[in-house]
Structure formats: C-alpha cells, structure tokens
Amino acid sequence: MPHSAPSSSHNYPVTHIGETASLGQVEPPALPLDELVPRELAGKRIVLGLSGGIACYKSAELCRLLVKAGASVHVVMTEAATQFISTITMQALSGNPVYLSQWDARDANNMPHINLGRDTDAILIAPCSADFLAQLVQGRADELLSLMCLARPIGRTPLLIAPAMNREMWAHPATQRNLQQAENDGAHILGVGQGEQACGETGDGRMLEPDEILHDLISFFTPNVLAGHHMLVTAGPTFEAIDPVRGITNRSSGKMGFAIARAAQEAGAKVTLISGPVALETPRNVQRINVQSAQQMLDAAQEHITSANILVATAAVADWRPATTATEKIKKNPQEAVPALHFVENPDILATLAQSPRAQSGQLYCVGFAAESQNLVEFATAKRVRKGVPLLVGNIGPSTFGQDDNVLVLFDEHGHHTLPRASKRTLAKQLIREIAQRL
C-alpha cells in the first residue's frame, strides 16, 4: 500500500497523486516569498557577542540574517566593539536591548552575565579578536562578554567563535595555541576567510562572511544523521554541443540538487557535487566538479563514486546528443539546405551506477530523480524498476525548473507518497531525513 502523505502546515491545496493522476493537469500555487526562506533557527535564542575589530560591520548583516532565520538575538558588546559599530544599529537589527556592562541593572537580579549564559541555545562571538580569544583561554572576566562566557554552563551552552584579525596575528604561534586551547576547552572554532584585509594586506584571518557563519550555525544545530557517509550528487542540466557556440540542453536550474548537497553536508556527510552548467554558488564545504556533457558527467561520477556510499542523481541528463559536432560555427547559407541533426543515445548515468558491483552488493545506495511532464506515477514507477534503484524521486519538470519551490513524490518498493509543496531547501532537508532512515 502507498505510504500516507505527510501533513502540511500550509493552507494550500496539496495534490495527492493517485494511480492515474497527472500532476501536469493541476498547477499548484506558488509559495509566498516569505515561505521560500525557511526559518531554520525558529525558536533558537542566540547571544551574539561582538569584540573589537573592523569586522563588526559584518556583524550587522549577520544579526539581520539570524533574525530572518527565526532566531531571537541578544547582543553583547565589548567597549572596544562600540568603537566600530553603534549599539543603536545592533539594537535596531536584533529588536532587543544591547548589553555592554556587567553592572547593567536592567535585569531584576542585576546578573546579566548569569542570565544571558543560561537562557540561550548558543553564544556566538563574531568577531572574536585575537585579544578576546586570549581572554577566553586565560579565563579572564574583566567585562561582561568574557564574564558571561566564563560563567556559562559548558555542558549546556555551546560557545562558537568566528575569529577576525590581521594575517600575521592569525599565523602567530600564540594565536594558534589559543585556538587549540579554546577548542580543547569546549569551544567550536568556525575558521576564517582569506582575502583582502582592512590593513591593506591579503591573507588568512578575515572573519567569515555572514551567510557562511549562518550556514555553520544551522549545521551546528542540524542532527548529524549522515555523519560518516559520503554522498555524490549530480545536478543541473547537461549541454550537448552542436558546434562551438550552439548546443542542446534543458531548463533545469540545478537548484534542487544544490539544495540536497547543502542539506547533506549540514547533516554531517562528506559531499561531492557534479554539476552541469548552472549559475549557482557552490554550497559551503562541498566539493564541486563542473562538467558539460552527459559523457563528462558519467566519467566524473565513475571516478568519484568509488569512495561514496550514497548517490543522489538529480541531474536532468540529455537522453541524446548530436552524432557529430562541428569544429566551427555552422553558418546560415541561403544557397544551402537547412542542416539536419542526427542523434545518438547518451549513456544512462543512473542505470550504469545502479548496476555497478558496489550498488548491487549494497555498498552504494542509489536515489534517482524523474522529471516528467505528465502521468508521473505511471512513468516514475516504471522508471524506478527499470533503473534498478531503491528510491526514486519524481516531480513535474515544467512546473519546477527554475523555481524555488516544488512538490516531490517518493517511489520505493512499497509504493509512493508525497512531500507537499515547499521550498526546495525544505524539501532537500526532508529528503535527507528519508534517505538517512533507509540506509
């Protein structure tokens, strides 16, 4: 019997697919813009600590992103931090009063250093200067932020550190010793970026960008259901050249595959992403390999699948390619007949990998995708059996290509069930949980 469809919190019609239904006959409504950005930190209380450094300008955007993700943000600043950004800015962005002093009398018990460290899900120091890092390691408590970090229950209130400093300060043995000691003491070090610095030099030591820190914070709170696993994801379209400037491709944007790669990485997996030509940023901490044609995608997949134990093939691979490719641009000539294209079949990447010895022996779990224009249940059910994969994910291609939301239907040996319309980011996280449960 088919699984029952999960309930949806959205007040939108959910298309439940029957054995003869065609999703192509019903165009589900698009989600409102505010629901395309999941509030992944909803219910989380974050204390955002700012120590002195020019990177405080990034903390304003970080605060905005945290609030947008649903977190309740409470800002604590050192006196040095106020030289770089105002308390008014951070209060306006967080929506909460900013704390500066351990003598702040606004708390009823006059103990903000205790209250802030107890009633929070995480303390995030961004930026963390070299000086403040040294204070943490030495256990100094001469102002509110360091006092709060020292007084926090280590086993209950995690401390995350986003360092920011000049490249020489970052490379100094004292700083590296302090980083190691802070980690030994239970802090989580988020690392640094590389590039131009305010002093005019270039190198390591820049604070990570706000979206990178947000990603790392979301990863921190995400259960590591894929820890120890290596996932290979194929994404986007393929491009089959006709001549040096023309080719055959499709409308796949790669958004679903990239969302799956990101969600898998956040869930603890090592992720390799093989992508056709798309204009998307590589998800953080994901290895990306760019390809053009179906044959190139297969070659890359066969090279990297040897170390992976999960394959998620979301790429919309061209079934055919031109039999020959012109070495120069084919020019239009009124005196000549319109050139005819002859096609040959491309290799079937999913079937090839699903029939490999590693997949047949159970060492490789394969998940396929089917983008149809009609009769999804009929075609996807047959495709899963034909490809020989335990799980196949179906959708209606014309209604999802290039969009930020989707409806997914999961097909396995027991039947099928629907993941209702949601952002591709949300669906990717749901699919990762489904895969983890099946491994």
- Catalytic (active-site) positions: 199
Q: Is 347 annotated as a binding residue?
A: yes
Q: Maximum CA pair distance of the chain?
A: 92
Chain centroid, CA 364 distance in Å: 23
329 is in an annotated binding site: yes
CB count within 10 Å of CB 407 equals: 21
Kindly state the tokens that stand for 397: 């291609």
85 belongs to an annotated ligand binding site: no
Flag whether 319 is marked binding: yes
Residue 348 assigned ligand-binding role: yes
Contact of 94 with 73, CB cutoff 8 Å? yes
Separation of alpha carbons 362 and 309, rounded Å = 9
Cα dist. 65→44, 214, 224, 331 in Å? 13, 7, 23, 51
Structural contact between residues 75 and 50, judged by C-beta atoms closer than 8 angstroms: yes
Asked whether residue 54 is marked as a ligand-binding residue, the answer is no
Please give the Cα distance from 340 to 148 (Å, whole number). 74
- Binding residue per annotation — 387? yes
Phi, psi of 39 (to 5 degrees): -85, 80
Place of tokens 């491009």: 239
Binding-site annotation, residues: 319, 329, 347-350, 369, 383, 387
Binding-site annotation, residues for CTP: 319, 329, 347-350, 369, 383, 387
